[in-house]
Each structure stands twice: as C-alpha cells, then as structure tokens.
Amino acid sequence: MEEKPGFQTYYAVIFVSTLKDKHDKSYYHMSEQMVAQAKKQPGFLGFDSARSEIGITVSYWKSLNAIKDWKTQTQHQIAQQLGKEKWYAHYHIRIAKVEREYHFNSL
C-alpha cells in the first residue's frame, strides 16, 4: 500500500450499465471495437471493466478535453446512439478527477 509523491491528477469516466439482453453478442462486438478505438485516442490512459449483474467500465484519461474528444469521436457517437436504441436498459456516467491512488500486490 503506497501513495505516490507529487501525484499528477487525471480523470476517470465511471460507466455503470444494465443491458436489456446480456446474451446479445452484437453488444460485446461493439464493446471490443470501442476499446480498440479508445486506445487510439490522445489522452487515453487505460481502462478496467467487469460485468456480472451490472457492468462497470472505468476508463482513465489525461484531461477533460481528452474525454470530450472521445465523446464526440464519430464511431463512438454511432455506438452511443445504438447503445441507447438497442443495448442499454439503463446507464449512469460519472466524470471524476482522480486525486489519490494506492495499490497492493501480494507478491
């Protein structure tokens, strides 16, 4: 458990979603494509994703501008529209500034 000195803040987009149909393969296909696209975006730092009853994807970004650019990226816009029409029963997006972090490794 350690804290970095001189910590440089960055941003997290916390995306919590419930799918209409958890077995719709087209959703997972789109999801993989969006990860590949996001990795090409300037300011993208990485992401974590898990899904059981709900899905949580947290993506990390250098700045609010990098998030804005990703939000308006063409293929992402198409995916957002399809998401609302087709895949998501509900979602909640939070944009948050990461101020501190810690990690632990058992090894």
Residues binding a copy of itself (CB under 8 A): 1, 12, 14, 16, 20, 48-56, 58, 84, 88-107
Nearer to a copy of itself, 36 or 96 (CB): 96
Nearest approach, Cβ of residue 53 and a copy of itself (Å): 7
What is the distance between the alpha carbons of residues 35 and 5, in angstroms, rounded to a whole number?
30
Nearer to a copy of itself, 23 or 103 (CB): 103
**Residue of 98, 93, 86, 89 whose CA lies nearest to 25:** 86
Nearer to a copy of itself, 49 or 72 (CB): 49
Nearest approach, Cβ of residue 63 and a copy of itself (Å): 12
Nearest approach, Cβ of residue 35 and a copy of itself (Å): 14
Q: Which two tokens stand for residue 87?
A: 């895949």
Tell me the chain's radius of gyration from C-alpha atoms. Answer: 15
φ/ψ (deg, to 5) at 43: 85, 0
Phi-psi region of 37 (alpha: psi -120 to 50; beta: other; left: phi over 0): alpha
Nearer to a copy of itself, 21 or 42 (CB): 21
